[in-house]
Amino acid sequence: MKRAAHLVGSIPAATADEAIGLALRRLGPLLRAVPDGETGERSRWIVHIMLGLRSHPDLELIRDGEWSDYKDATLYRVRRGHRLRGESLRFGQSESALESHVVFTRLRDQLGLPGLTFQVGIPSDLDMAAFTLGPVSGLRHRRPFTEATLAEITRVHERLGDDVVFQLELPVELVMLSGVPSPVQPALARYLGSGIARLARRSPQGCRFGLHLCLGDLGHHALGRMRSARPMVRLINAIVRAWPPGRGLDYVHAPFAAGVEPPVTNPNWYAPLAGLTLPPSVRFVAGFAHEDQPLEEQRALRTVVEQRVGRLVDIAAACGLGRMTPATAEAVMSRMEELTADEPAPTVSATLVGIPTPASDLARR
């Protein structure tokens, strides 16, 4: 096995054409899947969806906000006498994915990378419900968000089939688990893991998935923290134990940084990784490539992680790159490239030609 690079989702670019082009220029042969960069209004993950719900007839705004930080967030409740239904919720992931897939296939064919898969980020149903209604009310009204999320997955799968991997994005689950006392975590991990597996089970037969565990990255700042890797190990193991047959699980991405804060350097923090029970076919993606940590320190962390996990790991940042400046995002991509190799390697960009170059690239040159 060789290490691969993984891009979580967002990339600071103006269009999907520029974002995918940048990803392929910098990391192309090292990637197994490529997101469309979640550009435009999607650069702040689901913020545009949350703001758009202000006009939903079955929801009432009880706290307004512009999502400048976690305290400046919208919060809704179901209107008295109304029933929220799944068919009334359209999150837009399917429309964006089908539009961007055209760009992806053109650039993939142009480069001759037939093994590359299109990656579509899908927040879990619990995440959509909790960010809309709050954790307690979100659990009570989870069903319509489940139905709406399944509809998004189904629309894409019906069109793209095996050429898409759905990345289930799970910040609420990891932050929630990390915030409770350790003795409570095993039971809560089983509950959360079964919910994630149930979403996969209800998706069309043959769907392929990856998991993106997350601590939040609004404004490149984390929502939660972990005292060690134990909560993420518990959540991953619970999901894997409950995972349904007939639904592929390609990879699990785990965050080791927290927004602007680089990964912890104490090896003891990573000791729980020895308890992971991932099948050999499921890749483990270590999200520790960071702009503010020296390369040699990150190489040492890679060694620690691989020793604990017991295999080579793929390399990623802790979250998407869309909350960074273009220059910082490219620096993180370069770091990912360096960390996939045991020794410094020639730049990938020198081997690729014919990919659209954003104006920001031209300005820096």
Q: What is the pLDDT of residue 1?
A: 72
Whether 6 is covered by a domain: the verdict is no
Give residue 359's pLDDT: 40
Q: What is the reported pLDDT for 343?
A: 66
- Does some domain include residue 9? no
Q: Look at residue 323 and tell me if it is in a domain.
A: yes
Number of Cβ within a 10 Å radius of residue 297? 13
- What are the φ and ψ backbone dihedral angles of 255, each rounded to 5 degrees? -85, 130
In the chain, how many domains are there? 1
The tokens 């045991």 sit on which residue? Answer: 342
Question: What pLDDT does residue 362 have?
Answer: 29
Is residue 1 in a domain?
A: no
Asked if residue 10 is part of any domain, the answer here is: no
Tell whether 232 is covered by a domain: yes
CATH code at 131? 3.20.20
> 288: domain range?
16-364
Amino acid letter for position 339? L
Which residues, in sequence order, are bridge partners of residue 77? 60
Return the pLDDT at 333. 97
Q: Is residue 7 part of a domain?
A: no
Which residues, 6 or more positions from 65, have their beta carbon under 8 angstroms from its beta carbon? 71, 72, 73, 74, 75
Q: Is residue 5 part of a domain?
A: no
- Which pLDDT score is estimated for 163? 96
Spell 142-157 as b/e; 16+ CB within 10 A means b: bebbbbbbbbbbeebb
Give the pLDDT of the chain (365 residues) as one tens digit per residue. 799 999 999 999 999 999 999 999 999 999 999 999 999 999 999 999 999 999 999 999 999 999 999 999 999 999 999 999 999 999 999 999 999 999 999 999 998 899 999 999 999 999 999 999 999 999 999 999 999 999 999 999 999 999 999 999 999 999 999 999 999 999 999 999 999 999 999 999 999 999 999 999 999 898 999 999 999 999 999 999 999 999 999 999 999 998 899 999 999 999 999 999 999 999 999 999 999 999 999 999 999 999 999 999 999 999 999 999 999 999 999 999 999 998 654 444 433 334 344 443 323 32
